[in-house]
Amino acid sequence: MSLNPPITDWRGRTVWLIGASSGIGRATASALHAHGASVIVSARNTDALEAFAALHPGARAMPLDAGDAQAVKDAVHSIVSSGALDCVMYCAGHYREMTAPKMDLADMLRHVQVNYVGALHVLDAVLPYFLARSAGHISLVGSVAGYRGLPKSLAYGPTKAALVNLAETLYLDLRDAHIGVSLISPGFVDTPLTAQNQFAMPALISPEQAAQEILGGWSRGEFEIHFPKRFSFWMKLLQLLPYRLSFAAIRRFTRL
């Protein structure tokens, strides 16, 4: 049984993607455009957004810093004043490796601002609109790094764990209001963020492959869309293990 209404036909639907200048967000916007959706792409990189719009006729570039709550509200007002908004995907992200002995508070707060607070700004702006319509879909891009504490993920992992809990709570609160909620939990995807990793990334996939996984999950009405399964299932297994075993497994796997 589907947890969300399956979305199989994107024609006539308007989708707003925040964090779509590169990586998973850009690839998903491109895939949605190819399936007939009206796509609005936002990020801080204006040049990248305009380049996307030039390659995807009909797409709308809307430069935005999701950390600016008023700017997000203004963006939503601009979107809905010219037509319906059917789906919002928050995929803005910030990532730097960090360990406790080298804790950098300023960068930790930057992770919180981009990865979590920006999502709250978007929710604050779109929820009244979706609730008034009794329709809409909210999709938050988390990470398998949010499943358990991981080495070198002192700043990044907790923000993704927060998104997991946020998405779960939103789903329970909004299901009776006919608003879909989905959580996207990628493993390693070849993006500008993961390019900084200095280790071999297991089951690495392309942003285009990630986009197809996401559209497939939406078409099946899934709540959590996690991929690639050959990696994400192992990460989910860690959630089920007692700490004594999960800590040992993580240390053995990462060699850290």
Helix (H, G, I), strand (E, B) or coil at 156: helix
Both structure tokens of 145? 């790094």
CA 227 to chain CA centroid, Å, is 13
243 belongs to the catalytic site: no
CA distance 124 to 142: 18
Q: If we measure between CA atoms, which residue out of 151, 177, 159 comes closest to residue 250?
A: 151
Residue among 90, 95, 147, 156 flagged as catalytic? 156
**How far is 77 from 91, CA to CA, in rounded Å?**
20
- Cα separations in angstroms, 191 against 94, 102, 224: 12, 25, 21
Residue 91, Cα to own-chain centre: how many angstroms? 4
Of 11, 2, 1, nearest to 218 by C-alpha is 2
Distance CA 146, CA 156 (A): 8
Alpha helices for 45-188 (secondary structure H): 46-55, 69-80, 105-111, 118-133, 156-174
| Catalytic residue positions, numbered | 156
